[in-house]
Amino acid sequence: MGEPERRLWRALREALPLARFRRQVPFGPYHVDFCAHGPRLIVEVDGDDHAGKTHQDAERTRFLRNEGYDVIRFGNTEVMTNIDGVVAMITSAIAHKARGRL
């Protein structure tokens, strides 16, 4: 894991322990950065190299959504400069999914 992933991992464990995120979870031919199976949410942290991989990322996201998971992507810079905002967006996504199940 790079520094952005380590920073987000610490923040997820502190802010959202009940979501029970796991890291580097295998899904078919892929490994996702972070996954919470309860709310069926995947969080990906994309480095600069993802700028040229939009087609591959779209295929990957499509596969994961077909498995029943929502996918949220953040860039390394966003994680490093706005960790509170990133965690707030993840928290909101989990809350939104929980409301949908009621």
CA pseudo-torsion sign 40, 46, 51, 52: negative
Which helix (H) or strand (E) is 94 found in, with range? helix 83-101
> Domains of the chain: which residue ranges?
25-101
Mean pLDDT of the chain: 91
Residue-wise pLDDT tens digits, 15-50: 999 999 999 999 999 999 999 999 999 999 988 665
Helices and strands (H, E) in the chain, number of each type:
4, 4
Q: Is this structure's pTM higher than 0.85?
A: yes
Residue-wise pLDDT tens digits, 64-75: 999 999 999 999
21 Cβ contact list (under 8 Å, min separation 6): 9, 12, 13, 34, 35, 36, 43
Q: Nearest CA to 96 among 58, 45, 43, 40?
A: 40
99: confidence class by pLDDT, cuts 50, 70, 90: confident
d(CA 36, CA 15): 13
* Res. 102: pLDDT tops 80: no
